[in-house]
Chain A
Amino acid sequence: MREVFKEYDFDWRLGSLARKALGLSNATQKEYQYSLNYAPSYRDALDEIIRTGEPGVLMVTFIRDYIEEIVNAHAHGKKVALVTFNFSPAILHAFDIVPFCLEAMTTFYTAVWKQGISDCLDFGCEKGFTETSCTGQRLALGPILAGLGVKPDMILYSTAGVCDSNAVSYAFASSYLGIPQCNINYPPTLTDERAAEYHRADFRNMVAFLEEQTGRKMDMDRLREVADEIVIQDKMFNELQDLQQIIPCPMPPLYAMMNFAFRMIYLGSKQYTTLLESMLRIAKANAAKGIAGVGEEKVRAFFFYIDHFCPNIKWIIWNRKQGISNVAAFLNDFWPKGNPFLKHPEEGYEMDLSSYDKIIDSLALQTSRFPMVKNIRGPYDAPMMWLDDTLSMARIVKPDVLFYIGTMGCRNTWSNVKLMVRDLEKAGYPTFVSYGDSFDNRVDPVDNLIGKCSEFLKIRGVLQ
């Protein structure tokens, strides 16, 4: 890592960037354009987010708050938990623990920053961490290992049994920094009674860990508040997913990412509700007018893995300019009751508010339905797993093309994406596979991705 990147803490730098960005968004249009010129390193990313209107501004605002909460947690006497993205932060509110999600930081960093990405990625390796692991965690983990950011008090991850690469990052951080850890371990099946029992027991095991770490019992009133909020959020989320099916898709492409990012960092908090309201308002208005969120919808794309190839947000901008709608994203599936994509009632979860025990069980179930955690735990072609989910969603949202974009560290999907492509093509969906890495532009640069992708869309007759 270059010396210059060691001068400021990683999290502080991100926070200050969000602060500056907001300062800009409040300015008049003219001032805004003018100021953007002085922010070359994040101009494009910022502009892309802010141009989505109110939801974009809200997103930046809340990300700023999120980071500030992390940075100031210790000063406020709160504990910080390093958490993975496929983990519901809801339970943490009941303990007043501040979640710090590595992948959210990675995503934000790679999207807005032009320099230092490779420095951060390599930093972990300098500390002995493996160079081939998933970049989603590795990028933000580097500075944390190096002490360039808040030192977490505990580490939580829900990927044991789902993704080694992910779990190992957190396990490594725990051993390296000497911080206590607790993982949620998922069995290979989803809906049978054995699995359900395991989900509940394992979640309670984590609750016990949280009690031990904080030295206090869970705040039941907070828990109830959070659960109530989730019920509202789930309803709105389902509405949003309903809207995705409309042709043309009324949702701007960035909404998918905004939504799942917020479920991952703010589920059960007011902030997420505010964002949902704002997104819904716009999406509904678009739907009423029959217009597409992307402008003119030329291609309906279903991202059956990661949808945001981050570096400099170039890929996302290109998608928008080509009129590529994001009609479904694998990371954006959460399976609450009433969701249009549910195939069986037992596939999803429902918030049962009848007792505290039931609330905790509901949260356990909800966590077990987080993206990836739900559907890459078992064989890709088993019921309710990767293929089944992708095909059944595709039938509903009617995409013109399916995209796989992942990370080079993803042993799971790289071990069967070829099988997926065969099956999806057989089912009649043109399927594009990127050999790039969503967070490391060095693997296959974004310009190549765009080149290969436009070639694909043209040759396969998706985009004329």
Chain B
Amino acid sequence: MIVAGCDIGSRTAKAVIMEDSNILAACVMRDKPDPEESAREVMAQALAQAGMRMDQVERCVGTGYGRKQVTFAQAVESEIVCHGRGAQWLEPSIRMVIDIGGQDAKAIKLDEKGKVIRYAYNDKCAAGTGRFLEVMAKPLGVRLEDLGSVSQKSTTPVKVSNQCVIFAETEIVSLINAGKPVPDIVCGLHRAMAHRVAALAKGIVVEGEVGMTGGVAKNEGMFNALEEALGVKIHKIGWDPQMVGAIGAALIAREMVPSA
């Protein structure tokens, strides 16, 4: 059976096409202002990658912020469920998923079947989001993909305290102006953010194997900082962590009982 998952996030759109337990195609692209268009386009890319047509896809589940705009999906599911499902399928030992996307951070606790037991979002005014890193990367003159490696060069990470994305940016600018080395600022940023996310996870009690999903999981600096803040090893997910939500959606599509 061929199914698809389409995750329209706040920053990126993702689509996955699966046949039974094989992932045939997986695509990510930057969001268009119109989520409906994003969904169509990323799906078209994925179909092209798999060499298929839409009518070959039996079912599709939409997820993410823009899930209601995935017009071709038969059903929608919250990204919490999808990330939980996807992570569990990829790494069955995982009991807690930390998903940091563009707009928010979530900690999700799972049972052994991948069902969500509890979850928590980032506090209001919290800077624990991917968008935060994007905004900060600009004045620092570092590419998003390089944040991780740059951060590894830090010797004495600086302290970044502001929780508001916008104000933290000012703080960064003044740190740059004060002549602080860029790696130290980047590392400080990761730490500040990791601490906030860790507090979130600790709020629902960290137990069992922890995995990290969402685009920010690709940032090694953040990955390491989070390990440090949580005080546990994070299980690396064998797949592109940004795709986990879409994979979860596809899995749910596969399991759905077709409505008559």
Contacts and interface: CB of A to CB of B under 8 A. Distances in A.
13 contacts: A418-B203, A422-B203, A425-B204, A435-B121, A435-B124, A444-B124, A455-B78, A458-B78, A459-B78, A459-B80, A459-B81, A459-B116, A460-B116
Contacts of A444: 124
Nearest to A431: B118
Given A418-B203, A425-B118, A455 B80 contact: yes
A418 B124 CA distance: 14
B104 to A, nearest CB: 11
B123 A435 contact: yes
Interface SS of B by simple majority? mixed
Interface string B112-150: 000010110101100000000000000000000000000
Contact of A459 (B119, B124, B203): B119
Given A435-B121, A460-B118, 5 more contacts: A418-B203, A422-B205, A435-B123, A444-B124, A458-B78
Interface residues of A, number: 12
The 10 closest A-B pairs by CB, nearest first: A435-B124, A455-B78, A459-B116, A459-B80, A418-B203, A459-B81, A459-B78, A425-B118, A459-B119, A444-B124
Taking chain A's interface residues, is the majority helix, strand, or loop, or is none over half, making it mixed? helix
Interface string A409-451: 0000000001001100100000000010000000110000000
Interface in B51-92: 78, 80-81
B33 to A, nearest CB: 20
Interface string B186-200: 000000000000000
Contacts of B78: 455, 458-459
Contacts of A443: 124
A11 to B, nearest CB: 33
A360 B78 CA distance: 56
Contacts of A459: 78, 80-81, 116, 119
B115 to A, nearest CB: 9
Contacts of A455: 78, 80
Contacts of A418: 203
A444 B125 CA distance: 11
A246 to B, nearest CB: 30
Q: Name the residue among B78, B81, B116, B203 with the largest chain A CB count within 10 angstroms.
A: B78
B139 to A, nearest CB: 28
Interface in B200-217: 203-205
Contacts of B118: 425, 460
Nearest to B126: A435
A443 B119 CA distance: 22
Nearest to A430: B118
Nearest to A458: B78
Nearest to A408: B124
A458 B124 CA distance: 22
Nearest to A425: B118
A458 B76 CA distance: 12
